[in-house]
Amino acid sequence: MPSTLAILGGLPLRTRPFSTWPVFDAREREQLDDVLTSSNWGGFPSPNRKATEFAAAFAAYQGARFAIPTTSGTSALEVALKALGVGAGDEVIVPAMTFAATPYAAVACMARPIFADVSAANACIDPDCVKRLITRRTKAIIPVHYGASLADLDALAEISRAHSIPLVEDCAHVPGARFRERGVGTHGALGCFSFQSTKPMTAGEGGMITTDDPDFEQRCQSLINCGRRRPGDTFEGPLMGANYRMTEWQCGILLAQLARLPEQIERKSRAAARLREGLGAIKGISPIARDPRVTREVIYAFVFLVDESALGVSRNRFVRAMRAEGIPCGVGNDPVYRSALFPRESPAYLKACELAGASAARITIDCPVAERLFEHAMVAVPHECLLGDDRDVDDIIAAAAKVASGAAELAAANLDKSG
Ligand SMILES: Cc1ncc(COP(=O)(O)O)c(C=O)c1O
């Protein structure tokens, strides 16, 4: 007799908390103390002492020639597009499944974001959709590496070459990841990272741009430092910049976080393999498979898909029941063009569309895969749940099996809210 689901009044499968995030130890304290006593706290002069050290360490880890610290992943994306010269009247292709910062970066350049559907295999931008959306106005393509998946960089690099359109990789979720043994953020013109609180390495806030191109490096350094030029800079024309400099506090914390990252990546990747095997054995549940080209996997969110008809209950009810069993999980990002954080009635977006020759009222956006994943399929477990031991992983699997076995009862139940 299977035990009653917690959402229907039974005992929750798990009552112990999972690992908490962020993680820190004496290394972060030492770094903060070092900055404190140096009396050199800010990002100016740019790049400052710790910023130079952190940028060098991050670039080496990622395999990039240059790294430029910034205030956030959002500012990194905006600066990367500006370094490419993206401006009014241009179009930038972004995936439907992402956070609002990705299309925002285009609008911040007065360019129009064009939304491409994602592939159901990995929730990342679908290269075939990208091909269909290219116009003479397309000035950049931003693949987002989503959750723990990397976008198909082989196909995207091919499109980029064939059309001479640069790629800007949005690597906010996956610092440290490698595709075919090459770090993410080095497969296109520029890469952008986020160190916001929930990310796999964090200083609360922060971002990074990577590039191999000295001209882009100079432009990015200028754009994050109010448009200043360094002696020896050779890029042409003045740039309108802002203060997007990372503080020395953040750089110190991130040096400590970077030192810990490889061990955490390993641990989470082992947990993910165990989770894939366990969840994959449950009818109606398919974890997103690891692409063999991903030679170093970084988990920001462990994503699995449910098939509502095979499972016998809606994805929304499944997630509510998992939470009641004590498993933190969510449903991923809504298609970003529907997000409250990317209001398509905002004057900035309307203007960007108008400048690119499009009437926002007549724009149709067609991303059925992203819609289906968000509405009916996707379940995302945050990365810190994979930082503990095998018992944590086994509890996630056991909870999913419990909910799956009670699916008929769950589907028939009269729950207080819809879904
Ligand atoms: C895919 C993606 N890109 C960019 C960002 C923006 O990063 P930040 O919050 O550091 O500005 C995020 C943040 O959540 C993100 O998930």
Give the chain's length: 419
- Compute the distance between CA of residue 62 and CA of residue 36 in angstroms, rounded to an integer: 28
Summarised one tens digit per residue, pLDDT across range 232-270 is 999 998 999 999 999 999 999 999 999 999 999 999 999
- Residue 3's pLDDT is what? 87
Q: Which atom of ligand 1 is nearest to the CA of 196?
A: 10
Q: Which of 77, 104, 196 to mutate to test the pocket of ligand 1 (most atoms within 8 A of CB)?
A: 196
Instruction: Determine contact, residues 64/210, Cβ cutoff 8 Å.
Output: yes
SS3 call for 307: coil
User: Ligand 1 centroid to 344 CA: how many Å?
Assistant: 19
- Compute the distance between CA of residue 14 and CA of residue 396 in angstroms, rounded to an integer: 9
Q: What pTM value is reported for the model?
A: 0.98
Q: Which two tokens stand for residue 237?
A: 């024309």
- Residue 1's pLDDT is what? 57
Q: Which two tokens stand for residue 257?
A: 């976080």
Which residues in the chain come in under a pLDDT of 70?
1-2, 417-419
- Compute the distance between CA of residue 210 and CA of residue 82 in angstroms, rounded to an integer: 14
Q: Which of 99, 115, 125 to mutate to test the pocket of ligand 1 (most atoms within 8 A of CB)?
A: 99
User: Ligand 1 centroid to 73 CA: how many Å?
Assistant: 5
Per residue, the 3-state secondary structure of 44-101, as one string, reads CCCCCHHHHHHHHHHHHHHCCCEEEEECCHHHHHHHHHHHCCCCCCCEEEEECCCCCH
Return the DSSP state at 40: -
- Compute the distance between CA of residue 376 and CA of residue 307 in angstroms, rounded to an integer: 8
- Compute the distance between CA of residue 347 and CA of residue 350 in angstroms, rounded to an integer: 5
- Residue 419's pLDDT is what? 57
Residue 362 to residues 93, 115, 129, 358, 365: CA-CA distances in angstroms? 18, 15, 20, 8, 10
User: Ligand 1 centroid to 102 CA: how many Å?
Assistant: 8
Full set of structural domains in the chain with CATH: 26-256 (3.40.640.10)
Return the DSSP state at 377: I
Q: Which two tokens stand for residue 4?
A: 């009653």
